[in-house]
């Protein structure tokens, strides 16, 4: 069904728009409304935003990621915030991926962590690599190529 929204996605977009005060017919004739003179969100804008949130490349195009020898795999779970350990010989791991049996630390160094906020607390599908950092004293980490909502 290329080019057409699937019914379940359309329902999500409509619900998103209703909650955000979107208008299907665009801004009112009097001009832009909203804070700071920004145009009011339309259904088309909301659909674009929903697709953007639905799937996100993290390290897929990064050389350091592609050069890792570990095989890529698809891992499903729930992305959660994790308390950040501070101090010498620690590694900033602000997220964990909870699978049915594992609590996997998520490596996001150098990536804008705010871009992962829409995925927190949601079921996600991650394409990534399990990188064993135990020799460095850290454990097994997930390096994410891409993430999407399930």
Please give the Cα distance from 146 to 126 (Å, whole number). Answer: 6
Structure confidence by residue, pLDDT tens digits, 115-130:
999 999 999 999 999 9
Model confidence at 112, in pLDDT bands (50, 70, 90)? confident
Structure confidence by residue, pLDDT tens digits, 68-94:
999 999 999 999 999 877 766 667 789
23 plus 83 within the same structural domain: no
71 within 8 A of 129, measured Cβ to Cβ: yes
- Position 8 scores a pLDDT of 47
80 plus 141 within the same structural domain: yes
Please give the Cα distance from 128 to 111 (Å, whole number). Answer: 15
CB atoms within 10 A of CB 19: 9
Q: Does 2 map to a domain?
A: no
With a threshold of 0.85, does the pTM exceed it? no
34 plus 66 within the same structural domain: no
């Amino acid at each position: 069904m290329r080019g057409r929204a699937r019914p379940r996605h359309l329902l999500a977009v409509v619900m998103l728009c209703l909650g955000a005060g979107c208008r299907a017919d665009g801004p009112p004739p009097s001009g832009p409304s909203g804070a700071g003179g920004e145009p009011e969100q339309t259904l088309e804008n909301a659909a674009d935003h929903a697709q953007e949130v639905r799937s996100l490349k993290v390290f897929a195009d990064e050389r350091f990621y592609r050069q890792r020898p570990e095989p890529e795999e698809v891992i499903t779970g729930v992305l959660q915030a994790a308390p950040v350990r501070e101090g010498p010989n620690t590694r900033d791991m602000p997220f964990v991926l909870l699978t049915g049996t594992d609590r996997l630390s998520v490596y996001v160094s150098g990536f804008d962590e705010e871009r992962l906020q829409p995925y927190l607390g949601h079921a996600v599908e991650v394409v990534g690599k399990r990188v064993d950092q135990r020799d460095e004293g850290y454990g097994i980490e997930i390096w994410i190529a891409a993430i999407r909502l399930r």
